[in-house]
Structure 1
Amino acid sequence: MSTEKPWNSGPRAAFDVETTGKNSRAARIVTASLIVVDARGEVTQEHEWLADPGVEIPAEAAEVHGITTAKARAEGRPAAAVVLELRNTIQALFDDGVPVMAFNANYDFTVLAAECARYGVPQVTRHPVLDPFIINKQVDRYRKGTRTLGALCEEYKVRLDNAHTSAADALATVRLLDAMAVKFPKIVMSAPALHRYQVEWAAAQAADFQSYLRRTKPTAVVEGDWPVLPPEEPERGGF
């Protein structure tokens, strides 16, 4: 049996980004939040960033998170500086062995990876990561209904004020996984061990969903990489 302590017996963190769009490889960070809690779940650190993404923020994105292009340009800091600070803050946690949570981690960590590449910032190690979305699909696979952060918070009676603000979503992510650990104690293990399981679970979940989609769309592809999607390969010229 591993002597490593369970992930919920020590400090743990969560981060969330709100962006310019749904495509995680192309989206630019508009706001980012990171919170750290201690073993008792008390918040010990809070970080928030507002970036000027350097591009127009589509109206549909602004409607979700409330940040318009004008506000980002007037009040936001240069995106490169925000990305560097966010990356360094997260990496410091990983270096200290603190697990970092993200709900649907593939989105947030892929956005961060793309932004780091965009501005020449070193990538984070992304280990150990905890993702309530992947974990919930594994331990409660026959659950009906959507698995949005809001829906799961309602199910587990986790307070979620100001949904779709990065600060509220980050804190709710921690509270949600803590609540899930009470209902499903089998997920209480060391963070590195749970990270390894999630890599396997995410791949299997993607394969199952791809098989389902191919019943009606034979060319459907569902990527199973976790907790970050690989960068898109550049288009090659040719004849």
Structure 2
Amino acid sequence: MLISDIDKIAVFDTETTGVDVENDRIVTAFIGVMDRNLQLLERHEWLIDPGIPIPDGAAAVHGVTTEKAQADGIPAWQGVTEIVTTLQRYVDLGMPICAYNLRYDATITDREARRHGIAPLGHFHGIDPYVLDKAIDTYRRGSRKLLDTAALNGIVLENAHTADADAIAAGGLAWIFMDRARPVEGTIEALHKAQITWARQQATSLEAYFRDKKNQPDAYVEKVWPIPAIPGEVIDDELELVFT
């Protein structure tokens, strides 16, 4: 599909118990449909009881404590089922999925689905403003956090680290960066493949920086985008193309 023919994208964000995609859990999530005028046409929000304690550090970021999640949240299996089903419905309608640092949100959702015996999200086209920003403006100094990247591009992010605000800001950046980073072919398929390459290059560069400049010889930065294989699982090249 030509990028110029895309009129809606699915914007997505999660807030979680931590940063470990293999073991942490989703606490809140937001999925919306955003058009080219940055209008939100649909919105879905979840507050989930993750079934494990929410560390104080995580609660300080997104504002959801263990007690609040237990009192007001829905069971994790139900929330994850609804999240995956909603994303799949929009993918089936031809919408790309957008998230800032999509690798994180897509992977933790994938692992949560598998944890609860739910069929994970099928093949989709992703838009990751975090990857696109670094590809477009590689040598810009300063923070690449969503709040700062949004401000540099004229997008006001209020209530940062709430799933709805972060998803909406990421969607605004996606529309800007899709045009700036448009591949020669002009298609979302080509842009998705380009992000696979850019994400790998960016991770390789960051890993080298940690090893060479920060004296961390064992540093490792994940290179597969948007969803890496489960650790220890071998995926052949053909299957990797399906899931990435």
Asked if these proteins are the same fold (TM beyond 0.5), I'd say yes
Paired position in structure 1 for 2:125: 128
What residue in structure 2 maps to residue 18 of structure 1?
15
Q: 2:190 aligns with which of 189, 193, 199?
A: 193
State whether residues 181 and 187 of structure 1, in contact with CA within 8 Å, keep that contact through their aligned partners in structure 2.
no
The count of residues paired between Structure 1 and Structure 2 equals: 230
CA distance in 2, matches of 1:172, 1:206: 23
- Deviation string 1:130-188 (CA, Å, 9 cap, x unpaired) is 00000111110001011010010111110111110001111111112223356x26469
Range 104-113 or range 5-14, more displaced: 5-14
Of 151, 155, 179, the residue aligned with 2:152 is: 155
Letter in 2 for 1:222: V
Unaligned stretches of 5+ in structure 2? 234-244
Task: Tell me which residue corresponds to 1:222.
Answer: 221
Distance (Å, rounded) in 2 between the aligned partners of 1:129 and 1:218? 32
TM-score normalized with structure 1 length: 0.91
**Residue identity opposite 1:232 in structure 2:** P
- Scaled by the length of structure 2, what TM-score is found? 0.89
8 Å CA contact retained: 2:98, 2:126: yes
Q: The residue matched to 1:110 in structure 2 has which SS? A: helix
Instruction: Check 1:52–1:61 CA distance in 2 against 1; reply closer, same or farther (3 A cut).
Output: same
Contact 2:183 2:190 in 1 (8 A): no
CA-CA distance at 1:56 after TM superposition: 0.5
Q: 2:138 aligns with which of 136, 141, 152?
A: 141
- Could you say which residue in structure 1 is the equivalent of 2:102? 105
- Name the CA shift for 1:60/1:185 in 2 (closer, same or farther; >3 Å): closer
Report the Cα distance in structure 2 between the residues aligned to 1:153 and 1:77, rounded to whole angstroms.
Answer: 31
The answer for unaligned runs of 5 or more in structure 1 is 235-239
What are the within-5 Å matches in structure 2 for residues 33-44 of structure 1?
33-44=30-41
Deviations 1:18-58, CA, capped at 9 Å, x for gaps: 00011122110100000102343321110000000001000
Q: Any idea what SS the aligned residue of 1:171 has?
A: helix
Question: What letter is aligned with 1:90?
Answer: L
Secondary structure at 1:50 match in 2: strand
Q: CA deviation at 1:8?
A: 7.1
- Counterpart amino acid of residue 62 in structure 1: A
One-letter identity of the residue aligned with 1:40:
N
Alignment pair present for 1:71 and 2:68? yes
Aligned partners of 1:148, 1:8: CA distance in 2, in Å? 29
CA contact (8 A) 1:8 1:39 kept: no
Displacement of 1:9 in angstroms is: 3.7
Give the distance between the partners of 2:4 and 2:110, measured in 1 at CA: 24
1:51: which partner in 2? 48
CA distance in 2, matches of 1:8, 1:79: 36
Indicate the SS of the match to 2:207: helix
Q: Determine which of 164, 169, 172 is the counterpart of 2:166.
A: 169
**Paired amino acid for 2:33:** V
Identity across the alignment (%) = 38
Separation in structure 2 between the aligned mates of residue 210 and residue 175 of structure 1, nearest angstrom: 29
Please give the alpha-carbon distance, in whole angstroms, between the structure 1 residues aligned to 2:216 and 2:41: 48
**Deviation for aligned residue 1:206:** 1.2
